[in-house]
A and B are shown apart, each in its own frame.
Chain A
Amino acid sequence: MKDLLTIDQLGADGIEEIMIAADSFAEVCQRPVPKVPALRGKTIASMFFEDSTRTRNSFDTAAKRLSADTMNFSAGSSSVSKGESLRDTVETIEAMGVDAIIVRHKSSGAPQQIARWAQASVINAGDGWHAHPTQALLDVYTVRQEGRGFDGMKVAIVGDISHSRVARSNIEAFRTLGAEVTLVAPPTLLPPSAESLGATVSHDLDSVLPDTDVLYLLRMQSERMNQALVPSLSEYHRTFGLTRDRARRLPSKSLIMHPGPMNRGIEISPEVVDDPRVRVLNQVTNGVVVRMAVLYLVLSSAAAERTSA
């Protein structure tokens, strides 16, 4: 695996490989010194053409715990703002000698394009509405940690599906592992071809709730209001938010997940945030663990392919 661009490229075996490696890195992260020399001498560049604090910090922490050197590149403070083309930017970064490039871009497909240009490994940290594979991997890892099988598991993804790369990658990941995915959203926030994603579609959260093992809430972005896709945030909360009443009707063994940052009072009521079924902080912790596994596997297998070639 030279690059990690989408979940689909992995298949069930590829996901399982990452989960097995992640178990080892979870142990490393609990040590008094949570650091191993696995990627000593490797340089990992983060190219974030779109703002992100947590994903960037998560990757950065993962790289440092593997003893890699890191280089940070933000579009705002770089020559992109001076009009440099994407290709020139990538070639410049690569000429400095990097082994992996972590890319976040507002345009779908940008990481694929960069992977075609670059010798270095490319890891997609979110592109447009297309994919966010490491988010989906940390999500399935968080569910797997509960020791439950994915076969026949019922996953409900609630919120703005049409603008969500997190939803797309999670649908792929959960379905690949054998779970059944239901998308819950108003028609205005569903892509026209929602069923073609391989998921069931519902507009009624209350009917889906009682039969849900994993309730995955998406972040509601306030700019969607301006586009008149949702009447108001309080209206959204009443129909699609996890209220205290709905939390009561969610089975006791279900998990509540959210990719963050949470909008309290919109996707989730403030009083539900501390519910014992909420796994949001586990997701954050596992984000570092799973990204260590991805960086390790991508960079060690890239080296193996070079030696055998």
Chain B
Amino acid sequence: MIAEPRLTRASTGRFEARTQVLTSDDVARATRRMAHEILERNHGLTNVVFIGLERGGVPIAQALAKALQSIEGVEVPVGSVDVSFYRDDIGSVALLPEVTKIDFPVDNRDVILCDDVLYTGRTVRAALDAVTDFGRPSSIQLAVMVDRGHRELPIRPDYIGKNLPTSRGEVVRVSLDGVDLGVVVPEEQE
């Protein structure tokens, strides 16, 4: 399961699933397909590193690395990045940051950024700034399990698990157990 973000204030709602979009088998199949696409596009894995976006993207990065390990028998470095300090809306969401872990050089590497859901593109924009603070990769590519549309920035994914048209009021929850489309209902106040 993908952990819930830690909030500095009490969370104001709870996720309620309405439709299951992908089962856990579907997620595993999409992961394997994306792994093959990454392999093909980069002509192997010698120059590839994975960086997952905290928190939802980290399990996706790990799953892709595991799939590539079983396909190619190569261990790909996996890091994680928390973009809290690079956001354009600091203060409007009170999240506690995770510790960024990029303990390999990114200079001249092909960095595959991984996230669970691509929505406005603002998180990815922040991640691009965060990763380039660590060095100058030869390329940065983007892998997401779900592309739900509604982009607000000129950002597009290179590898997509599932294209999922949504309305802005809906919420997509991704885990390795499956993908659900639902809504957030306000928590009853005690």
Can you list 27 A-B contacts (CB < 8 A)? A17-B8, A21-B97, A24-B84, A24-B85, A24-B100, A26-B99, A27-B99, A27-B100, A28-B100, A32-B134, A35-B133, A36-B86, A38-B84, A38-B85, A38-B90, A66-B85, A297-B8, A299-B91, A300-B90, A300-B94, A301-B8, A303-B90, A303-B91, A304-B9, A304-B91, A304-B92, A307-B91
Q: Which residues of A contact B92 (CB under 8 A)?
A: 303-304, 307
Question: Using a Cβ–Cβ cut-off of 8 Å, how many residues does chain B contribute to the interface with A?
Answer: 21
- 6 closest pairs, A vs B, by CB? A303-B91, A36-B85, A38-B85, A24-B97, A300-B91, A304-B94
Instruction: Give the shortest distance, in Å, between A31 (CB) and chain B (any CB).
Output: 7
Q: How far is the CA of A66 from the CA of B91 in the complex (A)?
A: 14
Check B96–A21 contact: CB distance below 8 A.
Answer: yes
Q: How far is the CA of A23 from the CA of B86 in the complex (A)?
A: 17
Q: Which residues of B contact A98 (CB under 8 A)?
A: none
A interface, size bucket: 20 to 34
Tell me whether A199 is interfacial, beta carbon within 8 Å. no
Q: Known contacts A24-B82, A31-B134: does B98 contact A302 (CB below 8 Å)?
A: no
Tell me whether B129 is interfacial, beta carbon within 8 Å. yes
Instruction: Give the shortest distance, in Å, between B166 (CB) and chain A (any CB).
Output: 24
Tell me whether B6 is interfacial, beta carbon within 8 Å. yes
Q: Which residues of B contact A31 (CB under 8 A)?
A: 133-134
Q: How far is the CA of A306 from the CA of B101 in the complex (A)?
A: 32
Check B93–A23 contact: CB distance below 8 A.
Answer: no
Q: How far is the CA of A300 from the CA of B99 in the complex (A)?
A: 18
Instruction: Give the shortest distance, in Å, between B100 (CB) and chain A (any CB).
Output: 5
Q: Which residues of B contact A66 (CB under 8 A)?
A: 85
Bitwise interface map of A from 61 to 94 toward B, beta carbon under 8 Å scored 1, else 0: 0000010000000000000000000000000000
Instruction: Give the shortest distance, in Å, between B134 (CB) and chain A (any CB).
Output: 7
Instruction: Give the shortest distance, in Å, between B11 (CB) and chain A (any CB).
Output: 14
Q: How far is the CA of A157 from the CA of B8 in the complex (A)?
A: 32
Check B98–A24 contact: CB distance below 8 A.
Answer: yes
Tell me whether A33 is interfacial, beta carbon within 8 Å. yes
Q: How far is the CA of A302 from the CA of B8 in the complex (A)?
A: 12
Bitwise interface map of A from 277 to 309 toward B, beta carbon under 8 Å scored 1, else 0: 000000000000000000011011111101100
Q: How far is the CA of A253 from the CA of B133 in the complex (A)?
A: 38
